[in-house]
Amino acid sequence: MQKRLLLPLGGLVAATGLLAAALVTPAGAASTVSKAKLASATQAGDVMNFWTADGGANLKAAKAYGVEHKSVPKHVSTGGPATDGKPGVVPAIGDEKKVVGKSKNVNLPKTVGRAFFVIDNDVYACSASSIQSQYRNLVATAGHCVYDIESKKQTVDKWVFIPGYYDGRAPWGVYVGKQAFTHYDFDVYEDADRDYAFVTVYNGIGYDFDKNVHVDLGPLGKNVGGQGFAYNQKVGQPVFAFGYPAAPHDDGNYVFTGEKMKWCYGKPVYPIVESSVKVEEQMGLKCSMTGGSSGGPWILKYNSNRRLGYINGVTSLGGDTDGNKRSDMITSAYFDGETYGVYRAAFSLWSGSLVKADGSVGITETK
């Protein structure tokens, strides 16, 4: 029997020079962490139906989402951040005991995909990536791609992650969000210097068209791997930034569609400021990606052979810094020990399967 995935449109490292970190939650980390529920197992069927009904119409209708800021973020000086501890890393899935060589090619990571969600009945999309965790079930993205900054609700609705998203296809299934974790200052004060989030997801869901039933595809990280995590690193080390830009440039040019993954490469600068969204100490990277790339990973020591490295940031803001109405910079929060504390709070939580013995996905009854 051939098991085919539920495809909305019908288609189917270890580092050098980085210090390893023990998986121990920093003292006082609990006071910096905000957590929230996204979807229960009984709600997940409705979430899946929402995104996959009518050939994935809602996926195709999703608009690029990003933080609205009043002026262009600016690099105001040179220098580095004040770290809150020693630099540390958590190796990627599969790289726990390996050192691998370099590649001259840029092979796109399987871990990166699009996150889809609903705010006030409107459908939106950001970017995100699978990241290392105990149960291979964790996603890294921007805080504003999970926590609702538009209304009085704590989180967005109907959050799902589709790794490897390509032209409407879900090659490794759909993963429904279970719990979300971010920094207290982002959740409560919308401080974009803490614009990151980590989301636990249920096992992936596919579809067997021969038997007309859903299929449990297992944990996210077992299907696509998971990037490592790095914090308190020196700014200026080269990174690859990946994402799914979809919004037009300010001149109205639609260079991107959101249907294919894009990337940028360069050396971040620090600090970046923009007062309207409380940004005083983000990192900036020269890059032409537009809205929709929010939440996409900035990967340090990326190895193209294994398509793995260390997530050291996620895209937060962007804009046109030279006045030609073309986006030319993206920004990220600086990942420090408090970021690690948020990550660690989500690291060891189990999610489990949503698919029932009869092939259904816990669909709630309606009358």
List pLDDT tens digits, range 36-89: 999 999 999 999 999 999 989 999 999 999 887 766 677 777 667 877 888 889
Residue with tokens 């399967």: 353
102-106, 158-162, 307-311, 324-328, range with the lowest pLDDT? 102-106
Q: Which amino acid is at 279?
A: V
Backbone φ and ψ of 310, nearest 5°: -130, 120
What are the chain's domains? 30-68+76-347 (2.40.10.120)
CA distances from 210 to 5, 82, 347 (A): 11, 57, 36
For residues 98 and 15, the model is more confident at 98
pLDDT score, position 330: 97
When pLDDT is cut at 50, 70 and 90, the band that residue 29 belongs to is: low
Calpha distance 114→244 (Å, rounded): 7
Bridging pattern class, strands 262-266 and 197-201: unpaired
Contact 298, 314 (CB under 8 A): yes
Tokens of 37: 């529920």
pLDDT digits 0-9 by tens, 282-300: 999 999 999 999 999 999 9
DSSP 22: -
Residues 6+ apart with CB under 8 A from 111: 129, 130, 131, 163, 224, 225, 226, 227, 297, 307, 308
Residues sharing a CB contact under 8 Å with residue 53, sequence separation 6 or more, in sequence order: none
Model confidence at 208: pLDDT above 90: no
| Alpha-carbon gap, residue 116 to 59, rounded angstroms | 7
Q: Which residues of 178-202 are buried (b: 16+ CB within 10 A; e: fewer)?
A: bbbbbbbbbbeebbbbbbbbbbbbb
pLDDT at 363: 57
> Residue 208 CB: number of other CB atoms within 10 A?
16
User: Using H for helix, E for strand and C for coil, what is the string for 220-231?
Assistant: HHHHHCCEEEEE
pLDDT at 278 over 60: yes
Asked whether the predicted pLDDT for residue 6 surpasses 70, the reply is no
Read off the pLDDT of residues 314-355 as tens digits, 9 standing for 90 and up.
Answer: 999 998 988 899 999 999 999 999 999 999 999 999 999 999
Distance CA 12, CA 61 (A): 20
Amino acid at 46: D
- Average pLDDT (118-125) is 96
Percentage, residues of the chain above pLDDT 90: 69
